[in-house]
Amino acid sequence: MKGTQVIDIRSIGDVFIGQAENATAGTGCTVIISPRGAVGGVDVRGGGPATRETDLLDPVNMVESVFAVILSGGSAYGLDAAGGVMRFLEEQKIGFPVGEMVVPIVCGASLFDLMTGDGSVRPDAAMGYEACKEAFAGATLMEGNHGAGTGATVGKYMGPERMMKSGIGHYALQAGDLKVGAIVAVNALGDVIDCDSRRTLAGVLSEDTDAIDDTCSLVLENQDSEKDVFSGNTTIGCVLTNARLTKPQAGKLAAIAQNGYADVIRPVHTMADGDTIFTMALGQVDADPLAVGILAREAVARAINRAVCETRHAYGLKCASDFKTDGQ
């Protein structure tokens, strides 16, 4: 994008990002921590979300700051990982002071990965705590089959037999003093489209599994049938910015960031998805909210592309790199 430069998402401000996973079981979590607190927002578009502490982000409610966002696998079970994040932050004295104690506000969302690997193993408090330790240790921030993307898949309209492996990705941009980045775990019902070429990177496989089919076309072809649509989906993410935003503006930014989902996922925001995105505004620079939204949309779309492109095949599932050819 003209007038911007690509930056490390961890350079946006005083923020720590860490991950933990169980690669054998096919699940994990990713935590984004703001020790000083960030103005938070959220937007939920899908029909089947698994979320935690989203009501307090409504502008009419009292709490202004959040201290962490946790993205996890494990479906509703994975929300337990937030307990470990709270324990870690309490030990670090991060949170709202209440007498001699602190109360860390931790928001979160989980995606469905129970049919990848061993579904009896889910992110829990211990895994959430471990992700926080990795964040503060400055561990390498991996993409693809890591963190909340460990068990993520896409292209599930025709069932698990024709889905592909996906993962987690991140991307960040700077324009002048303004910095905006996104980290997204991609677990969509639909297909993922390349931002630039518009070709399909990953999605529902053809019947012989030797090519990538088109989910939207399959939906139209099957609309008169009593098809049982696979409901284990959801793309979840978080947008970070150093901009100074009000709580209503942070909420609106989350809504705008959902456009990044729509840019590269087909179809998106279905009743079989739980698409959710959080925002964390660190409040370091004054910025035009319109400019913040433009960068957020771009960062989200490109983070989704990276999530599938950096993934490698696992659990018997093909991935985007299995379909690359010379010249692509």
Please give the pLDDT value at position 64. 86
**What span, in angstroms and rounded, lies between the C-alpha atoms of 81 and 25?**
16
Please calculate the CA angle 280-284-288 and round it to the nearest 5 degrees: 80
Strand 178-185 to 236-243 pairing: antiparallel
DSSP-derived secondary structure letter, 31: E
Tell me if 299 sits within 8 A of 171, measured CB to CB. Answer: yes
Whole-structure pTM value = 0.96
**Please, what's the b/e burial string for 145-175 (b: 16 or more CB within 10 A of its CB; e: otherwise)?**
bbbbbbbbbbbbbbeeebbbbbbbbbbbbbb
**What span, in angstroms and rounded, lies between the C-alpha atoms of 24 and 9?**
28
Residue corresponding to tokens 């008169």: 224
In a domain, 164, yes or no: yes
In the chain, which residue ranges form alpha helices assigned H by DSSP?
81-91, 125-137, 215-221, 247-264, 289-309
Task: State the CB neighbour count (10 A cutoff) for residue 218.
Answer: 18
Please give the pLDDT value at position 226. 74
Can you count the helices (H) and strands (E) in the chain? 5, 17
Q: Which two structure tokens, joined as six digits, stand for 36?
A: 């000083």
Count the domains in the chain: 1
In a domain, 328, yes or no: no
In a domain, 290, yes or no: yes
Tens-digit pLDDT string for the chain (328 aa): 889 999 999 999 999 999 999 999 999 999 999 999 999 999 999 888 999 999 999 999 988 899 999 999 999 999 999 999 999 999 999 999 999 999 999 999 999 999 999 999 999 999 999 999 999 999 999 999 999 999 999 999 999 999 999 999 999 999 999 999 999 999 999 999 999 999 999 999 999 999 999 999 999 999 877 777 777 889 999 999 999 999 999 999 999 999 999 999 999 999 889 899 999 999 999 999 999 999 999 999 999 999 999 999 999 999 999 987 544 4
- What Å distances lie between residue 43 and 31, 215, 256, CA to CA? 18, 24, 9
Please give the pLDDT value at position 328. 43
In a domain, 95, yes or no: yes
Please give the pLDDT value at position 321. 94
Tell me if 85 sits within 8 A of 47, measured CB to CB. Answer: no
**What span, in angstroms and rounded, lies between the C-alpha atoms of 28 and 49?**
18
**What span, in angstroms and rounded, lies between the C-alpha atoms of 328 and 307?**
17
In a domain, 91, yes or no: yes
**What span, in angstroms and rounded, lies between the C-alpha atoms of 103 and 158?**
44
CATH of the domain at 16: 3.60.70.12
Q: In terms of residue numbers, what domain contains 219?
A: 5-323
**What span, in angstroms and rounded, lies between the C-alpha atoms of 70 and 314?**
24
Tell me if 21 sits within 8 A of 150, measured CB to CB. Answer: yes
In a domain, 149, yes or no: yes
Environment class of residue 58 by beta-carbon count within 10 Å: exposed (0-12), middle (13-18) or buried (19+)? middle
